[in-house]
A and B are shown apart, each in its own frame.
Chain A
């Protein structure tokens, strides 16, 4: 009996948790760091302006809850939360509404110029967003939608179409064509094939696109900053941006961290609750 076979036999006898110990250590190292980071942000929100600069990861000496009240009222975060919810909700829904059928056709129909059209959509992913700053003002004021949440939604939809179509065409293209053929044999027309057969199969992919759009539109502020001017129209990232700027010029770091905490806590909770569904979607979505 050689050494290697002994080793091979012995190994499975080690209890599972011992074999997994290195994995636990590495994963916990990263996790501890990230949790500490989030904790740092939250704790900094509770300190005085002087203490926050030197106490690092120590607990606050006195808990200054009023930082939250200040950030909430001065930053009008309540109002902006609703604006964000509206804009992002409507936009994400509309993005999927227009992109899914388009991606389906681009992936599965046969027509001249299909490749070119697909490339035209894909090229949009590479366009730097600041390029839109100047022309968008003119277009939105022509449509009488400048400085409005509707205008912002339209732009959000337009800029999210490329990546959504890119994701979904890949997804539709990979679906087996047998089902499609069977449905046609049973007398479905092309719309029915899409609606009853292909779309349900594509749902995981649609969900993936939904999540990616949700994440990045929820945090978008560069374009919003250019399009929205009236304080009552601001979205959450804009409110936070303005709060952060003001805090920097007055040295109010706890106030800034308080604003950030107010924004991230509900996001984390929503994410914890939704992540199961979201990731289930991705599981099938991105991977087919």
Chain B
């Protein structure tokens, strides 16, 4: 029905721009992952798959991968748990829905460095918000907790991260809920359905599409996660906060340490790409099957 000419005409601009300025250039750099190359000059040594072997034996790489997966799954659990909870609460008929929606989204428009500065104040061991509050209400032993000590800093960062992203996905989920006809809920109310039952038997199935998109967006963002944990480290990102994105950046481009191992960094990039792709495919499979049930 759609003629070939139109197909070509409609696809050409996007394909050219995307292929020429993004896909081919980046895929071509993946070729560097087979070399030892500093990025300076022409001095490249072919090392085959050595960079990948090295990744496999690199403690810091595994640490970064673990952190990335922790953000993806643990962070994702809380982001979506809270986003769902607040979607249900805000759409339960309380007054000021639009206002709350605006406020929840706000962290997404503030520069991450400013957010990191604020959270550093919140977590500060002595003068910080949490610990001063705790000691004011008499919880002196808890007020001694060092939220940003090396054993806690990753989780402290993740909590802040969840706060930012919950608002983003809340917007998407609320948009989905608004689309559900109100009489569905009214009918459920008449039958005496609880809030939980309404959520599970009406909201979730009706939200399936928006959830799929949200999950995919979260996954891609989580695997590439860079900005927020990076800003959380101000001068020097502590290793406890390394994600794959940060490690790639530090090995190939970054900060002030003259590491410059572009070949190795691109190998990390390849791993990230493969990881994303596999997860997208798996997600699509899982969600497609579910979709058939409804």
Contacts and interface: CB of A to CB of B under 8 A. Distances in A.
Contacts of A263: 111
Contacts of B108: 215
Interface in B1-16: 1-4, 6-7, 9-11, 13-15
Interface string B113-129: 11101100100000101
B86 A27 contact: yes
A128 B89 contact: no
Contact of B273 (A44, A123, A170, A271): A123
Interface string A97-124: 1110110111011110000010011111
B213 A108 contact: no
Interface stretch (B18-26, B50-58, B142-150): B18-26
Interface string B33-52: 00000010000000000000
Contact of B23 (A54, A108, A124): A124
A136 B127 contact: no
B179 interface: yes
A244 B113 contact: yes
Interface stretch (A28-36, A59-67, A68-76, A81-89): A28-36
Interface string A265-282: 001100110011001001
A126 B272 contact: yes
Contact of A283 (B9, B23, B178, B213): B178
Interface of A: 8, 16, 20, 23-24, 26-27, 30-31, 33-35, 37-38, 40-41, 44, 54, 56-57, 97-99, 101-102, 104-106, 108-111, 117, 120-136, 139, 154-155, 157-159, 161-163, 165-167, 170, 174, 180, 184, 190-191, 194, 215, 219, 222, 237, 240-241, 244, 248, 253, 256-257, 260, 263-264, 267-268, 271-272, 275-276, 279, 282-288
B98 A275 contact: yes
Interface string B82-99: 000110011011100010
Interface residues of B, number: 93
A175 to B, nearest CB: 13
Contact of A264 (B111, B244, B277): B111
A127 B26 contact: yes
Contact of B86 (A30, A101, A157): A30
Given A184-B1, A256-B117, A271-B102, A131 B17 contact: no
